[in-house]
Amino acid sequence: MSRLRESVTSVMHILDGADLGADYAVSQLLDETTARRSLDLSDLSPQEQAALVEGRAINLIPSAAVLAEKIEAARSEGRQFVIKYGIDPTSPDVHLGHAVPIIIASRLQRMGHHVVFIIGDVTAKIGDPSGRSSERPALTDEDIARNLSTYQQQVTPFIDFERADLRFNGEWLNKVRLPQLVEILARVPVSMSLQREDFRTRLAEGQGLSIAEFVYSVVMAMDSVAITADVELGGVDQLLNLQMCRKVMEISEQTPEVVITTPLIEGTDGTGSKMSKSKGNYVGLTATPDDVYGRLMSIPDHLTEPYLQLLTEWTDDEIRVVTKRLEDGTAHPMAVKRILAGEVVAALHGPRIAAAARAEFTARFSKRSFGDTQNLPVVSLKEHSEDTLGALISRTLDFAPSISAVRRVAQQKGLRLIREADGEQQTTQLTEASVQQALGVVVSEVGALDGAALYLKVGRKVARIEA
C-alpha cells in the first residue's frame, strides 16, 4: 500500500463516522491532511503519478499516458524530470487562484521531480495579454523589483526551495540576440497567435495590440527552452501560451514539454468571476490567518466542493464521502466549510494556527458577544473622528481594497455599527451614504456609549471603536 493510500485510509475513517462539526474530529483531520502536504509520493508508479495529476487538470497535452512515459524515461536515464511554473510579477500579491497550479507542482515535487519556479522579470515588461481587452500599462524595473520582493516567501508553503530552483528569465532573455529571435519567429505561423479570441476581438474593435503582446508567448516559450522543461503548469487561460511553448521547443529541436492546465478558481463572491485582486474577490497568501479563514467562510456553499478539490490535498474518494454526508444530512454545510477554511489556513500557517483561527471565528461570529474575541483591530474615535468611514475602512483598517468596495458592502447590507452591553447587541444598519460621512458623525447615530462597547462590522470583518 502506498503512503498516500495509507493516509487516505486514516482520513476516511474520520470522515465516515465522526461529527464533522466537533473540534476534536477537525483537529484529527487537519493533522492528517496537513502532514499529507509533505508526504513523499515517490512510491507511486509513473502511471499513478500521471493519474493523480490528471484528476485535477483541465488539459493534459498530449495525454496522461505520455506523461507517464516521460517520467519513466527520465528515471531510466537517471536524470531530473523538470517541472516548470512561471509567474510574471505584475502585482505584489500572490493569491489562492495562483496557488492552484502551484499545488500541482508541489505534488510533482513530492513525487521526486525537480521544480523550476520562474519569475518573469523580462516578460512582465510586456505583460501577459491573455484575456485582456486593452494593452497593459508598461511596468518599470522599480515596479517589477517591488512586486517580486516577496514572491518566494509567498509560495514557500507549497514549494520546498531547498529542493527547487528559483530563476529569473532575465538570466537568459537578456542575452537573446536578434538573429536568434528572428530565426524562431520565422518558423512560428501567425495563425497560432490569431487563434486567440482576445486578440481577434481587440483587432475587430480597433483596440490597441502591440507587436510585443503578439510575440509574448514566443518570448515566454524561450523559458521552456532555457531549462529544457519536461512539464509546464498553468491556468487554463494559459493554454495557448503553453501550446506555443511546445512549438518553440520543437523548433529548437527539443522534445516538447507536457502541458498541464488547471481550472480558474472562482472568486469568493460566488458571482462566477475568476478570483482577482481587481475584483476584490480574492484571498491573498499574505493575508492574516483570521482573514483567510473569514474570507473562506464567506463563500457560497456551492464553492465548497471545488475549493476542496483545488486548494487541498483531499482525494476524490474523500470528497465524495463528504458530499454524500451533506446530501443525506449527516454533515452540515457550515461544518464542512469550516474544515475547508482550516485546511487552507493550515497549508499557509500550520494546523495549530488553523485551530486558533477556527476558535477566533467561532468567538467572533458564532457567538452573540464580541467581548471575548481576541485580536480585533482597534480604532480610536478621538484620532479618527474626522476621517470618512470609507477612508477609515479601506485605508486605516485595510478591510476593503477601495472606497467603492466599501460602498458595495453597504449596498449589500454588510456595513453595521454594533453596540454591545451585558452580552446584548444593538445593531445599526449603515447606508451607502454613510461611507462619505465622518466617523464621529456615524457613531453619534447610536447615542452615548455609557460603558457599552462599540464595533464596526464590514462584511465578516470586525473592528472595535474606542473613545
The C-alpha cell of 364 is what?
A: 467572533
Angle value at C-alpha 103, between 224 and 124, nearest 5 degrees: 45
Distance CA 376, CA 390 (A): 19
Q: Which of 189-193, 401-405, 449-453 shows the lowest per-residue confidence on average (mean pLDDT)? A: 449-453
pLDDT in tens, 35-86: 999 999 999 999 999 999 999 999 999 999 999 999 999 999 999 999 999 9
Distance CA 223, CA 84 (A): 9
Strands 114-119 and 415-421: unpaired
Residue 454 pLDDT level (bands cut at 50, 70, 90): confident
pLDDT in tens, 138-173: 677 888 888 877 888 889 999 999 999 999 999 999
Nearest Cα to Cα of residue 336 among 1, 30, 20 = 20
Strands 59-61 and 258-262: antiparallel
Residue 133 pLDDT level (bands cut at 50, 70, 90): very low
Distance CA 185, CA 177 (A): 13
pTM: 0.78
Distance CA 266, CA 268 (A): 7
Write the single-letter amino acid at 361: F
Distance CA 336, CA 21 (A): 8
- 275 CB-contact burial (10 Å; exposed 0-12 / middle 13-18 / buried 19+): buried
Distance CA 409, CA 192 (A): 43
Count of positions (residues) in the chain: 467
Sequence-distant (≥ 6) Cβ neighbours of residue 227 within 8 angstroms: 82, 84, 116, 118, 167
pLDDT in tens, 350-362: 999 999 999 888 8
Query: What local confidence, expressed as pLDDT, does residue 448 receive?
Result: 59
Sequence-distant (≥ 6) Cβ neighbours of residue 46 within 8 angstroms: 67, 68, 69, 71, 72, 75
> Is 31's pLDDT higher than 80?
yes
Task: Find how far residue 178's CA is from the centre of its chain.
Answer: 37
Distance CA 401, CA 394 (A): 6
Strands 258-262 and 231-235: parallel
Sign of CA dihedral 19, 22, 24, 29: positive
Query: What local confidence, expressed as pLDDT, does residue 418 receive?
Result: 85
CB atoms within 10 A of CB 436: 13
> Is 111's pLDDT higher than 90?
yes
In the three-class reduction of DSSP (H, G, I as helix; E, B as strand; rest coil), residue 265 is classed as coil
The C-alpha cell of 173 is what?
A: 532573455
Distance CA 169, CA 159 (A): 19
Query: What local confidence, expressed as pLDDT, does residue 340 receive?
Result: 96
Sign of CA dihedral 236, 96, 129, 255: negative
CB atoms within 10 A of CB 247: 18
Distance CA 154, CA 97 (A): 13
Domains, the chain, ordered by start: 1-39+268-366 (1.10.240.10), 42-262 (3.40.50.620), 378-466 (3.10.290)
| Inter-residue contact 167 to 121 (CB < 8 Å) | no
| Inter-residue contact 75 to 113 (CB < 8 Å) | no
Bridge partners, residue 415, by sequence: 458
Query: What local confidence, expressed as pLDDT, does residue 134 receive?
Result: 52
